[in-house]
Amino acid sequence: ALRFPQKLWEMVESDEFRSIWWTEDGKCVAIKEELFKEEVLGRKGPLQVFSTQSILSFLRQMNVYGFFKVNALFQRPASLPERLAEAAAAAAHSKILYYCNPNFNREHPHLLELCKRR
């Protein structure tokens, strides 16, 4: 059985899931919360990915492995009105959570083994 960080890595790398992906720089994970609850945590039986169906338990597990939440990432410099409009549009559609871990990086898969439980 894979450890939590490996499962998460495979999920982010996979095209199977629309609710979780790498940020543009490959240093953080973006999670579309409502879709993730349905698409990933809602799975049962042999298709179940994680041992929980609770988003809070999943996020606690992220924290245990050293992930920390960051506020919305804006990939390019934008004027304040543009940023506010972008944030409002994102909030209106669905909440996107961003989590980073220095050892969870798309460009450096070898660091994954350093993702340990605290």
Q: How many beta carbons lie within 10 A of that of residue 11, not counting itself?
A: 18
4-102 CATH, one of 3.40.50.150, 1.10.10.10, 3.30.70.140, 3.20.20.210: 1.10.10.10
Q: What is the pTM of this model?
A: 0.81
Dist CA 53 CA 48 (whole Å): 9
Dist CA 13 CA 24 (whole Å): 13
> Are the C-beta atoms of 1 and 68 separated by less than 8 Å?
no
Q: What is the pLDDT of residues 1-42, one digit of tens each?
A: 789 999 999 999 999 999 999 999 999 999 999 999 999 999
Domain borders along the chain are 4-102
> Are the C-beta atoms of 38 and 110 separated by less than 8 Å?
no
Q: What is the pLDDT of residues 53-65, one digit of tens each?
A: 999 999 999 999 9
